[in-house]
């Protein structure tokens, strides 16, 4: 038998009371534990609790909003746009300038990651292009110069725009190597055996497929063919700045100001931000900006 509205409201009220009591008991327990800690430990514990409470509040907020998942995704896009403008772009500009100054181009690659990878720049008159490879990943960083003006939205219309300055748009993409017989862990005699190919599908996906009409895994050569123009939609090969290819990590165009669809590449962005950029700077003995959200870090 279905419950009446009155019964449902009473049950909901009872649940809220129980939950509130539970929260109060947890707070009392936490305060008791805090009293026995040193001032330093108390400060650290307090910060952890504040962050925990804030995370719970954020989760609660988005879970109760209409289209909450969409808006949470936009919040992550805004966060990674901030990281791009304050950390990725200034760091990569420093890295690019150092590579150029040291003459570390494609013909003179810098060995990195204990010789498991390489880093170098590719000369280009329109863009700053950096290639960074590891044993398992190949990244392409494309910086496009962009002129804009300071913007002050809270000021009167006549004072909203300030001095012109130069910045960059940024594209980060993965790329794949062409299949090479030297890899030696695939038996080409069995390539006509569909079962063998299915069993080794994960291996085959490590290689570029840009010989296909609609490729998903672009090689570095494909980017070279279009002069590293990510917004090339017309001639083949076609590239897009709007997440259509599987190599997409992030695009932050200064014209549109915000990244898009970073929820799908969050882990990769986190790895690049917390590991790869720092490693690249370390290999070149560079000091780079502090990563937003990463504390007082001295690179």
Asked if the structure places residue 121 within a domain, the reply is yes
Report percent pLDDT > 90 for the chain: 27
Asked if the structure places residue 296 within a domain, the reply is no
Structural domains in the chain (count): 2
Phi, psi values for residue 158, rounded to 5°: -70, -15
232 and 167, same structural domain? yes
118-141 pLDDT per residue, tens: 999 999 999 999 999 988 889 999
Nearest-angstrom CA–CA distance, 232 and 221? 15
The DSSP annotation for 60-122 comes to: HHHHTSTTHHHHHHHHHHHHHHHHIIIIIHHHHHHHHHHHHHTT-BTTSPEEETTTTEEEEEE
Q: Which residues of the chain fall short of a pLDDT of 50?
A: 296-299
91-109 pLDDT per residue, tens: 999 999 999 999 999 999 9
Nearest-angstrom CA–CA distance, 89 and 169? 8
150 and 232, same structural domain? yes
Strands 128-133 and 117-122: antiparallel
Tell me, letter by letter, the H, E, C secondary structure of 107-145: CCCEEECCCCEEEEEECCCCCEEEEEECCCCEEEEEEEE
The one-character DSSP state at 178 is: P
In this prediction, residue 101 carries a pLDDT of 96
In this prediction, residue 297 carries a pLDDT of 44
50 and 94, same structural domain? no
79 and 51, same structural domain? no
Asked if the structure places residue 288 within a domain, the reply is no
SS3 label, residue 166: strand
In this prediction, residue 172 carries a pLDDT of 94
86 and 18, same structural domain? no
In this prediction, residue 298 carries a pLDDT of 43
Selection from 129, 80, 115, 135 nearest residue 268 by Cα:
80
234 and 255, same structural domain? yes
Q: Where does a domain end: 64, 89, 112? A: 64
Phi, psi values for residue 151, rounded to 5°: -130, 125
113 and 240, same structural domain? yes
Asked if the structure places residue 104 within a domain, the reply is yes
Task: For residue 11, give its domain range.
Answer: 5-64
Asked if the structure places residue 102 within a domain, the reply is yes
In this prediction, residue 283 carries a pLDDT of 92
In this prediction, residue 299 carries a pLDDT of 41
In this prediction, residue 58 carries a pLDDT of 75
Asked if the structure places residue 21 within a domain, the reply is yes
109 and 249, same structural domain? yes
Asked if the structure places residue 134 within a domain, the reply is yes
Cα 215 to chain centroid, rounded: 23
153 and 222, same structural domain? yes
Q: How many CB atoms lie within 10 A of CB 146?
A: 14
232 and 164, same structural domain? yes
Nearest-angstrom CA–CA distance, 6 and 262? 44
In this prediction, residue 130 carries a pLDDT of 97
SS3 label, residue 7: helix
SS3 label, residue 252: strand
Q: Where does a domain end: 64, 85, 109? A: 64
Asked if the structure places residue 97 within a domain, the reply is yes
In this prediction, residue 34 carries a pLDDT of 61
248 and 146, same structural domain? yes
Nearest-angstrom CA–CA distance, 45 and 27? 13
Phi, psi values for residue 292, rounded to 5°: -55, 135
In this prediction, residue 246 carries a pLDDT of 76
161 and 249, same structural domain? yes
């Amino acid at each position: 038998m279905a419950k009446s509205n009155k019964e449902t409201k009473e049950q909901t009220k009872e649940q809220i009371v129980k939950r509130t009591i539970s929260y109060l008991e947890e707070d009392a327990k936490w305060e008791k534990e805090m009293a026995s800690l040193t001032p330093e430990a108390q400060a650290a514990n307090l910060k952890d609790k504040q962050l925990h409470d804030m995370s719970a509040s954020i989760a609660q907020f988005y879970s109760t909003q209409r289209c909450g998942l969409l808006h949470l995704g936009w919040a992550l896009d805004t966060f990674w746009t901030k990281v791009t403008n304050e950390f990725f772009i200034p760091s990569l500009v420093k890295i690019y300038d150092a590579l150029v100054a040291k003459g570390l181009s494609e013909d003179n690659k810098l060995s990195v990651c204990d010789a498991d990878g390489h880093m170098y720049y590719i000369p280009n008159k329109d863009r700053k292009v950096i290639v960074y490879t590891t044993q398992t990943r190949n990244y392409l960083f494309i910086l496009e110069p962009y002129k804009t003006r300071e913007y002050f939205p809270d000021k009167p219309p006549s004072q909203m725009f300030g001095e012109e300055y130069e910045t960059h748009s940024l594209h980060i993409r993965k790329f794949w190597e062409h299949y090479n017989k030297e890899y030696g862990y695939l038996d080409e005699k069995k390539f006509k055996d569909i079962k063998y190919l299915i069993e080794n599908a994960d291996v085959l996906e490590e290689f570029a497929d840009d010989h296909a009409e609609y490729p998903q895994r672009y090689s570095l050569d494909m980017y070279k063919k279009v002069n590293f123009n990510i917004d090339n939609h017309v001639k083949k090969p076609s590239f897009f700045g709007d997440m259509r290819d599987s190599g997409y990590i992030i695009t932050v165009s200064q014209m549109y100001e915000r990244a898009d669809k970073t929820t799908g590449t969050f882990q990769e962005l986190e790895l690049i931000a917390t590991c790869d950029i720092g490693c690249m700077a370390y290999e070149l003995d560079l000091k780079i900006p502090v990563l937003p959200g990463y504390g007082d870090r001295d690179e």
